[in-house]
């Protein structure tokens, strides 16, 4: 039975600073890399056939750090977005130690619009905590100039079904490394969470969720 692993990236420096990171490219915070070893030990108890991630540095860096903890396994980053796709013709020389890591902007974090880079406490003071919470966690409310979770779902889920789920149906084990709201969108799809209940879903930094897939249904396992 195919296995799906969903991993939220390690904590970035802007996460430490409690700022809205969105589509910005900050580094992984200091001392976070050690957590990658434990994650790798858990993930690579299984053979991983492919990885899907976004071009945000904190996501790709998390992928790279996890693979650093695994002997003779390396992520081979392949961009899928139009205009950025590598053109190798009909021949790609990937060794048996390389694991394809497919990169697409569709797995990016929610775009926070005018809030990007701002201190979350200052934003809450200006707009009120209930409004900010709705922008961050509800399904239909979007921050000024940014995306709602519904927007994220509508760009993330079709990509997941077209690529990752297609691989799962072939019996492949898949790892998706992405940001909080793009992963919340995938979990919403996988677990069929309602628009109203998605507000309650929180995934900590470095959170790992594991599913078995029988070709039709997903079942979470420990």
Q: Which residues are annotated as a binding site for substrate?
A: 8-15, 58, 109-112, 120, 136-137
Q: Which of 32, 109, 147, 149 is catalytic?
A: 109
Task: Judge contact between 118 and 127, C-beta under 8 A.
Answer: no
What letter does residue 220 receive in the DSSP assignment? E
Is 9 labeled as catalytic in the residue annotation? yes
Is 68 labeled as catalytic in the residue annotation? no
Query: Minimal CA–CA distance to 80: which of 54, 62, 109, 108?
Result: 54
Distance CA 208, CA 89 (A): 36
Q: Which of 9, 149, 165, 180 is catalytic?
A: 9
Query: Minimal CA–CA distance to 206: which of 46, 43, 75, 17?
Result: 43
The HSE-up count of residue 208 (CA atoms within 13 Å, CB side) is 21
Catalytic residue numbers, as ranges: 9, 109
């Amino acid at each position: 039975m195919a296995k799906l692993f969903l991993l939220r990236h390690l904590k970035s420096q802007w996460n430490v600073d409690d700022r809205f990171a969105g589509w910005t490219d900050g580094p992984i915070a200091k001392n976070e890399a050690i957590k990658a070893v434990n994650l790798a030990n858990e993930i690579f108890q299984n053979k991983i056939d492919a990885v899907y991630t976004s071009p945000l540095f904190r996501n790709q860096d998390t992928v790279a750090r996890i693979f650093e903890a695994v002997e003779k396994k390396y992520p081979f980053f392949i961009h899928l977005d139009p205009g950025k796709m590598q053109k190798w013709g009909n021949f790609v020389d990937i060794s048996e130690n390389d694991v394809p890591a497919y990169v697409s902007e569709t797995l990016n974090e929610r775009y926070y619009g005018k809030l990007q880079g701002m201190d979350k406490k200052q934003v809450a003071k200006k707009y009120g905590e209930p409004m900010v919470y709705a922008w961050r966690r509800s399904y239909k409310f979007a921050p000024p100039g940014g995306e709602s979770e519904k927007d994220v779902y509508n760009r993330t889920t079709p990509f997941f079904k077209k690529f990752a789920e297609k691989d799962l149906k072939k019996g492949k084990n898949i790892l998706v490394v992405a940001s909080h709201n793009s992963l919340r969108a995938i979990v919403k799809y996988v677990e069929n969470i309602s628009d109203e209940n998605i507000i309650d879903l929180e995934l900590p930094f470095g959170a790992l969720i594991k599913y078995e897939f029988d070709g039709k249904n997903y079942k979470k396992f420990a």
